[in-house]
Structure 1
Amino acid sequence: MRGAFLLLLLPVTLVSADTCSTLAKTTDIDVAFPVSIDYISEQKKYWSSSCVALKPSCILFPTSAADVSVILQAINDSDENFAVKSGGHNPNNYFSSVDGGPLISTARLNQASLDANTGVLRMGPGNRLDDIAAKLDGSGWTFVGGRIGNTGTGGLILGGGLSYMSGQYGWAASSALEFEVVLANGTIVTASEKENADLARALRGGGNNFGIVTTYTLQTYRQGNIWGGNVAFLHKDKVASKLLRAVRDFTEYNTDDRAAVIVTAERSTGLVVPDLIDIELIDTWILFLFYDGPTPPADLFRNFTEAGVPISNTVKTRTYSDLIGGSNWVVVKGSVVQIGTETIPMPSSENAGTVMEGIHAHWRDISGKTLLEPGIVASIAYQPFQRSIARQAKARAPDLIDADDDAERLIIEMNYSFLPKPSYNRMANTLEATYTGVRQRVLGWQEEGVLDDVYCPVFMNYGFYRADYWGRLRPESRAFAQEVAAKYDPNGFFRNRTGGWKP
């Protein structure tokens, strides 16, 4: 009887095998356990302190696709949830973070090899944008990446990737020529136009649902010095109206695809101690201006730079590496970060005031109620989503976003960062009210004929976990993603064992 009882326990022991201990004992893969220096250091490298607070059972540091294959096979033998981390910039809990299961860090998959003749770059997901910019500095080539240097390349590309250079080259994912992918069962495959083309398409905008990419092969582009930086204004009614009109007009009228802008409004308070220290309110506009050349044409950005009297101006001719490397001031260290987004049709000139100022007033109303939250920084960013972005994306490679160039759009990003972790759910409700309020207004304006009824997907890189990412894509894109997932991950390994939006 005792032997039979032990036999009954054996399958349970096998099913619940500890991936971390197994790999530490049987492989040369670096396995960092809690309290170790590598574990503590890597676990701090998230944009949101809510992700830092989740504690993986160990952190795995593969250095090759073969290592990742071994890791996935070991996780298959367990019942643990896991996560894969590139730069940790996605603040949604469990998207690139995990509590109680293994975390696969790609930090040591940081290879970068450039063909100086063709501009083809092979790089690992362990690189951040400022890493790659620095590695390419002086080569005469540039990559289509995001705007904040600390952003991880893996999450950026799998979510699409909006760049200063998207008007010229489409999404960051549009320049991905080939992916080296480790599938759920540990098989290593290539996804490109010639091999597993369906998988390659699904990886452009499909997130972490199909495999772990260990190498991205990207086309880079010729570039010399660029012009860019930030211009800041105090938030005043006349300045607000001028900047909101300027970003709308730029979206419609700009024909120079080398130019890009982001118009952000920021609200924050200084240290708040009730009854002891007064609230010091910070209420500003911060513009991100970019031109892919040493000097922009005269008057190209005049509607922005002359909207008021600047309180600071860092715009200058510089290297792209210098611009990206100097952008990390936007990362609020030690804070809980929550990001949400909406895509809206560009309003006509006659309806610009109604739409742009209506959305901004909504944001002012909601964000104004958060200003007593310790450490609060509330921001909204208006970003042109011009026809040229969709046109260039379609010309280069198929993706799941599948944006048409029949209309101009704007991508609006809404952020809250704050200090108290117990405020997470309450502030999540606030963020949801912020972006759904934008959506409700857009739908109302469309019913009234104020806005055109155009396809407006949710941009994955800025999406909040409560958003319906897949429901806002075209139905055929979602169906395609489901087919690809069923083909390459028939047992639902990534669907059932990792976080993120699932098709």
Structure 2
Amino acid sequence: MHNLCLLIRSIAATLAIWCLLVPCAEAVDPGSCCQSLAASLGSKVAFPDSPAYSSSLASYWSAQEQTTYPACVLSASSAQDVSTALKILVPRACKFAARGGGHGALAGLANIQDGVTIDLRGLDFIKPFAENQLVSVGSGLRIGAIYAALHPLNIAISGGRSYDVGVSGSTLGNGWGWLSNEAGFCCDNVVEYEVVLANGAIVTASQRNNANLWKALKGGGNNFGIVTNFVLRTVPMTRIWTADVVYTLTESQIPRLLGAAADFTSREEPDPKETLLFTFSYTPTVGNMYYVQCISFSMTVVNDPDALSELHRVYNTSIASVSGVYGIGWTLSFQPLTRLMTDASAARGGNVLGIGQPPEEGLHEVQLTAAFPDAADYDRVSRAADQLLADCTAAVKLLGADWPWVEMNHASHIQDPISTYGEENKAFLVDTAAEYDPDAVFQKLMPGGYKLKGGHASR
């Protein structure tokens, strides 16, 4: 017993000494982390109540991120700034976040309470080269800025649909848009990344150099480093025809709409230049919503008209649970996931998403988006969204139309998209993280996002 007590005392003393030498994460003073940053990076570090700090918070898309308050914000304008920051923050065990476009729905995805937020919006360059077949873009850009810059050159990238979406977060998750049938996801078209690793090293990752890191970043999220530059393949464009059609349908007309969507997705000879997104939305009359709370989830189902119909029924039933929420937008969207997309992905080197080969009839990625202005309603809407996800999942399983893949960019706080990538892909991601981030810095000190071992993102 005496020896056991001595051993315990020895371990306690060792831990105490370790915490003095390498500050324990729980004991780190965020203020000291920020002061250390400011000593090296000067006015690029903004503190609360400063215009730069307020501007950074106000630029986030969701109110959850706008009301997450870091101890300071670093406005990085180069990969070297990011490198310097990590060389300061990591040895001190300072917690941090990295934000590109800031379009995430969940608090903590690209911001951090009482930590250091590395704001990448200063990385905003767009440089076409190789006879406009490639374009180098900074990781702080939003997709719309890239589209606008490339349009006069008659080229585009296979990026997200919304102009407000950041190139960084969307591409590291997948990057699904109007051109995915023709060119695959945005992540499939990254030929090179510039990445700042946990130790501050700035490396390039491509099919030839750091190939494991290159592939891991094609859907693996923020688990490996901070990407500061994407080199993307471009897609030749001449003219794009789009149409937003809004219908007020009776219940008797819904089967016809769902049948048409199923037929579109299962065509024997699909046109790679055509795509579809259809949405059911409940929105009561309301004025402008300046601060928008947002909740989402994602699931994948086999393109079965009965399954689509059942999902619509479950969604319709769920409206009663949120109809009393002021200003609610309760939206269920369907987008076809076809063999054209997975074939295009494979032709460009593959990714780690683990979608598999869709059946001949195709798949649909189904996502909920709930937007509302009052934070007081968050718990109520969140419970309704969780219940709708459970009910939708149960309904398609009964019909044998379930598919395991969860799309990261619209996953909910209770989902673990990386676990749906398959055992082989997840093992590859874990091994690659161990190679490039052996101290698990991006698992421990950068808590936002979907982690390799923790699973769920912040709420």
Matched to 2:338, the amino acid is Q
C-alpha deviation, 1:12, in angstroms: 7.7
Residue equivalent to 2:260: 246
Residue equivalent to 2:420: 472
What is the 5 A alignment of 1:89-238?
A: 89-115=103-129, 117-238=131-252
CA shift digits 1:170-219 (9 cap, x unpaired): 11100000000000111111111001111111101111100000000001
Residue equivalent to 1:502: 451
Q: 2:303 aligns with which of 343, 346, 349?
A: 346
Alpha-carbon spacing, 1:8–1:414, altered in 2? closer, same or farther (3 Å): closer
Matched to 2:72, the amino acid is C
Q: 2:35 aligns with which of 14, 17, 21?
A: 21
Structure 1 distance, partners of 2:258, 2:18, is: 66
Structure 2 distance, partners of 1:483, 1:229, is: 44
Structure 1 distance, partners of 2:93, 2:19, is: 15
Q: 1:51 aligns with which of 65, 70, 73?
A: 65
C-alpha deviation, 1:431, in angstroms: 1.1
| Range 188-197 or range 470-479, more displaced | 470-479
CA shift digits 1:7-34 (9 cap, x unpaired): 9999389663622211212234611111
CA shift digits 1:409-442 (9 cap, x unpaired): 1000101111221322332221111122211112
Matched to 1:338, the amino acid is I
C-alpha deviation, 1:81, in angstroms: 2.0
> 2:279 touches 2:331 (CA, 8 Å); kept in 1?
yes
Runs of 4+ in 1 over 6 A off after TM superposition: 7-10, 12-15
Residue equivalent to 1:63: 77
CA shift digits 1:85-128 (9 cap, x unpaired): 11111111211121100101110011110016142100011110
Residue equivalent to 2:6: none
Structure 1 distance, partners of 2:284, 2:257, is: 23
What is the 5 A alignment of 1:30-41?
A: 30-41=44-55
What is the TM-score normalised by the length of structure 2?
Answer: 0.89
Q: What secondary structure is seen at the aligned counterpart in 2 of 1:490?
A: coil
> 1:394 touches 1:402 (CA, 8 Å); kept in 2?
no
RMSD: 2.1
Residue equivalent to 2:457: none
Residue equivalent to 1:391: 343
Residue equivalent to 2:20: 11
Q: What secondary structure is seen at the aligned counterpart in 1 of 2:343?
A: helix
Residue equivalent to 2:365: 411
Q: What secondary structure is seen at the aligned counterpart in 1 of 2:326?
A: coil
Q: 1:434 aligns with which of 362, 381, 388?
A: 388
Q: What secondary structure is seen at the aligned counterpart in 2 of 1:204?
A: coil
Structure 1 distance, partners of 2:188, 2:129, is: 19
2:93 aligned with 1:79, yes or no?
Answer: yes
2:291 aligned with 1:334, yes or no?
Answer: yes
| Range 419-428 or range 101-110, more displaced | 419-428
C-alpha deviation, 1:481, in angstroms: 0.6
Alpha-carbon spacing, 1:372–1:197, altered in 2? closer, same or farther (3 Å): same
Alpha-carbon spacing, 1:235–1:118, altered in 2? closer, same or farther (3 Å): same
> 1:146 touches 1:156 (CA, 8 Å); kept in 2?
yes
Alpha-carbon spacing, 1:12–1:99, altered in 2? closer, same or farther (3 Å): farther
Structure 1 distance, partners of 2:102, 2:252, is: 38
Q: 1:266 aligns with which of 277, 281, 293?
A: 281
Residue equivalent to 2:375: 421
Q: 2:439 aligns with which of 475, 487, 491?
A: 491
C-alpha deviation, 1:343, in angstroms: 0.5
Alpha-carbon spacing, 1:152–1:406, altered in 2? closer, same or farther (3 Å): closer
> 1:458 touches 1:469 (CA, 8 Å); kept in 2?
yes
Structure 2 distance, partners of 1:201, 1:479, is: 13
| Range 181-190 or range 88-97, more displaced | 88-97
Structure 1 distance, partners of 2:300, 2:258, is: 16
> 1:336 touches 1:417 (CA, 8 Å); kept in 2?
yes
Q: What secondary structure is seen at the aligned counterpart in 1 of 2:92?
A: coil
Structure 2 distance, partners of 1:173, 1:427, is: 32
Residue equivalent to 2:7: none
> 2:22 touches 2:92 (CA, 8 Å); kept in 1?
no
Alpha-carbon spacing, 1:374–1:33, altered in 2? closer, same or farther (3 Å): same
Matched to 1:246, the amino acid is A
What is the TM-score normalised by the length of structure 1?
Answer: 0.81
> 1:47 touches 1:333 (CA, 8 Å); kept in 2?
no
C-alpha deviation, 1:471, in angstroms: 2.0
> 1:29 touches 1:67 (CA, 8 Å); kept in 2?
no
C-alpha deviation, 1:63, in angstroms: 1.1
CA shift digits 1:120-164 (9 cap, x unpaired): 100011110110011112102111111100000000100011111
Structure 2 distance, partners of 1:257, 1:114, is: 25
> 1:176 touches 1:218 (CA, 8 Å); kept in 2?
yes
Matched residues, number: 428
Q: Give identity over the alignment, percent.
A: 28
Structure 2 distance, partners of 1:60, 1:239, is: 53
C-alpha deviation, 1:235, in angstroms: 3.6
> 2:155 touches 2:235 (CA, 8 Å); kept in 1?
yes
Matched to 1:11, the amino acid is L
C-alpha deviation, 1:405, in angstroms: 2.9
Alpha-carbon spacing, 1:112–1:240, altered in 2? closer, same or farther (3 Å): same
Alpha-carbon spacing, 1:37–1:403, altered in 2? closer, same or farther (3 Å): same
5+ long unaligned stretches in structure 2 = 1-15, 453-459
C-alpha deviation, 1:242, in angstroms: 2.2
> 2:223 touches 2:433 (CA, 8 Å); kept in 1?
yes
